[in-house]
Chains A and B, each alone.
Chain A
């Protein structure tokens, strides 16, 4: 973890209201799913804002963000050579140690961010990736370009039906996975999917996370989900982002934001 004042390399609007920012942090080692806390530009607020690291390389990290409040609005106005204070990398990311088997990813909206760099990193490692991406509309769905690669089978759903299937992406994912032998690997004698050859990751709004966790729990599959919560500090000091765990409470910033689906509970 480092706290650096870093130059912005670029700050590009990739879809209307969605920006990709490259920051010259001097560090680029991180695990996909980890995040940084950015100090808001002067006059745009007090507390730092958490952003998932989308990708990195050559002493630069990239963050993908949606303009949704004063802080992100001020961020969107920054340009090359502006300076920003970055604390990170923070938290725990996804564990991607398997080399074989299907990787299933479910992402909603800006929740696509951690998978941009993850997919670039596993390119050429000969594993199949099935990517379920849900978005509000065609504009947000356009973010799928950031993860489109030859080895990625992409399914899209939009709430307004303008791109892909109409509805929630979790419904598409659940329907597919419920179909015998369509996507998943072998099952155990109880009819549950074998966790050995199946990795499921998810990141998105709370409703998406809940659906994925409930479904995986019902099938006896352990996946990993990135949880979102309002963070005050991002480093475990304030207890704002506490969620319920199997034994006591967990801090999203410090114990997560990525959790195994069997270690969290929804209240």
Chain B
């Protein structure tokens, strides 16, 4: 019996991280652990890429379609570079004794477990299974955020835990309501929880129940996305955990939660008599964008500042998907991919900066382009990219979004533009202090350590100048599917 390539890839996608978690639990040597972590991530990416060409058969539990392959590939891509960055990062943490080698074993195993949970959430066709996977992802990140065991880290982990659990509880209630709505038409049991059937039959589902369920799901999974007003855990979790985890949180976990929301949005979209989910998502997105923009001005901690920037960008993406239509969805997808790549590479840089300077306070960090030229300039490039200046990919997606909004709802485009400008100017203001100014400190950082960061920023820059035809066609296709 031979395995179809699609099925094999799906098994690889889920099996490699699961196996990796087990192997890394028993790997004592941290260098070996880090190397294995990178190799497992590489294999996962390979499986994700295979899924682009070969699709496994649809089952009641698992589903690979055009939409989730985008998220899978972007996710596995960022996870691979983050694991490479993490190898250098944790070596330093071990030297400075912030972490012990036992912690690292734990850390690597959790990293793979997190990958497993996120991949499972993305490929699950069953809304209950998706919920379980997102819960698992939350639990692993909670433990990782608290891994330094300082007061601040424990506080952040606890806050994340409580708020995350509340979000999870809301999402479960929403899931139960969706099941109730479906049970009558699709029969009791698993088929009433299968997403593809829900989406196909959504026209016949009870609209009132769907409305109520979407509100619960929006708030529940919205907590995970970090949308205002349920964002409070996000800055703490980003600031106090190890930096690779900040990168993974921003670049991956937020996307996975947003993906869950999109799945439900598609169910809602098939039913003509329900409340339109778009305006709710647009409102929350706009709120996040404006709020986070103002908060960036006041931050004094560098990781916290970029965490608020993540809230801002998740707001933009949610707004784009809420707006809907081929163009806005395209902008949303592109922005999602660009934000993941850019923000994770910024966090790589910030991780090194915090290690070299020994502080995360913005006021204490000055003149990075002089003290560590390569790192400093890469940070400048990253911040310029995330602020949405040309010629980077983030600019392309923001430009697309603003123009498509302007064509449809002009006043919304004005608000959106205002929010973007606030975020942009706050970023630029802070960047000036960080990167320029006189300093007599000199740091040495081997250039190869910066390779993951440089590589990702290069992709973002390339995407801003020229998007390859197949990628455009692929994203267009997915944007159409998203309605």
* Same complex: no
Chain A residues close to B by CB (< 8 Å): none
Chain B residues close to A by CB (< 8 Å): none
